[in-house]
Structure 1
Amino acid sequence: MGEAKARGPYAKTPARRAEIVRAARDSFAEKGFAKASLRDIAERAGITHAGLLHHFRSKDELLAAVLADRDAEEWRQGLAEVDHPARLGPYLGALLRHHQKAPELMRLWIELAAAASRPGHPAHSYFVERYERGRALFSEGLSAGAARSGLREGISPESAAVLFQAVLNGLQLQWVLDQELDIVGPVDDFVRLLFAPDGE
């Protein structure tokens, strides 16, 4: 009876999937992707191994869901907190410091993004769409407030969006390789390069 209750009706409810993703995020951060097991993740989520496999077919699929969940959370937070270019630098600095608290997740994101560059990879479509969506949202935000955005002359919102992703990804890759490296200062410098001071 207890086992049947634990296994549940296998309904793919958003709440159950969210519990599994949170459990996987904790397991990946603590143990690393290679050492984290689906059985450990299932136990953390309070379901059986078979129950977990009903929602996620593999550890790779679960990792993609963990990273997608983090992306969505950060986009919501960014949209809520950044309503002016002057707030972008502080927000990005805080975001990078938050990522640095879970270096294994940062490393996994970089590894998965590189592997997904192959068209046949299961996460390929997700990463293509992620970058397209990110560029569109960032450039739309700048275009919507073109008069007050203060982008330096000659820099288009579309170009700024591409540079934004390249700088954030590149800084995190460098930090994973050398965790003594300051990446918060350079991201502040990057924002100052993108935006002209008021009145300039």
Structure 2
Amino acid sequence: MEDEAVAPRRTVRRPRPSTAERRAEILRAAARTFAAKGYRTGSLADVAEQVGMTHAGVLHHFGSKEQLLVAVLEHRDREDVRDLEGQHIPGGLELFRHLVRTARANTRRRGIVQGYSVLVGESVTAEHPARDWVTHRFTVLRGEIADAVQALDARVPRDAAERAASAVIGVMDGLQVQWLLDDDAVDLPDATAFAIEAVLAATLAGAAAPRPLGDVPDA
């Protein structure tokens, strides 16, 4: 009896992922890489290896390492509000509680915080590719925090609310740098909550707020 002819196997090709799916894979891989190795040490080659691409393939989707970091940070911001109503940063007192929760979450993603701090520091240089993104982020965040201050007390003047917003952002970013350098010396969420409450207390008290420094003369 002759052997039956064996039909040749047909190779089933898996559909190629869409551009959006590819970008999402790269973002997740970049977030893992930066979180584990830090922004400076984590390379595009590390990211590419995780998604089965070349270094050039990653650059095709994001253009540069800085642009990839910006996309990771934007993804982080979306994830931070994913479970909130309207998937948007809240208003009023809840906004400030959200900022403290974000500081607590940041202690679990050190590499992303490091990348953000590096990006913000470098963005002050002329023609940095992330300068516009960082400037826009601060503008939007100042407005949202100022709105939240005035939601607590509508009598607070807008300039005072915006001054408070600038102080909150500055303190949060500065505390992150201190924490990155010495996390034993800085309890990030606790120090963040303390600073925010101090800024809010002084702003809401207005003219009645104590002024230990008085009027500081020019040097």
Same fold (TM over 0.5): yes
- From the superposition, tell whether residues 37 and 188 of structure 1 become closer, same or farther in structure 2 (CA, over 3 Å): closer
Q: Describe how 1:31-180 pairs up with structure 2 within 5 A.
A: 31-74=37-80, 82-85=90-93, 87-143=94-150, 145=151, 149-150=152-153, 156-180=160-184
Q: Unpaired runs of 5+ in structure 2?
A: 1-10, 206-219
Structure 1 residues 133 and 76: alpha-carbon distance in aligned structure 2, compared to 1, 3 A threshold: farther
Instruction: Give 1:158's aligned amino acid.
Output: E
* TM-score using structure 2 length: 0.70
Tell me, yes or no, if structure 1 residue 22 matches structure 2 residue 28: yes
The Cα of 1:69 is off from its aligned counterpart by: 2.1
Structure 1 residues 5 and 99, CA gap change in structure 2 (3 angstroms): same
Counterpart of 2:197, as a letter, is R
The percentage of counterpart residues that share the same residue type is 33
Closer/same/farther in 2, CA of residues 61 and 83 from structure 1, 3 Å limit: closer
Query: 1-side partners of 2:89 and 2:63: how far apart?
Result: 36
> How many positions carry a matched residue from both structures?
188
Alpha-carbon RMSD across the aligned residues, in angstroms, is 3.2
User: Matched residue of 2:168: which SS?
Assistant: helix
TM-score, length-scaled by structure 1? 0.76
Taking the aligned partners of 1:171 and 1:97, their CA distance within structure 2 comes to 12
Query: Contact between 1:88 and 1:191, CA under 8 Å: does it hold in 2?
Result: no
The structure showing larger relative contact order (alpha-carbon pairs under 8 Å, at least 6 residues apart) is 1
Q: Is the 8 A contact 1:38 1:59 kept in 2?
A: yes
Relative to its length, the structure with more helix (as a share) is 1
Structure 1 residue runs without a partner (length 5+)? none
Q: Offset of 1:22 from its aligned partner?
A: 1.3
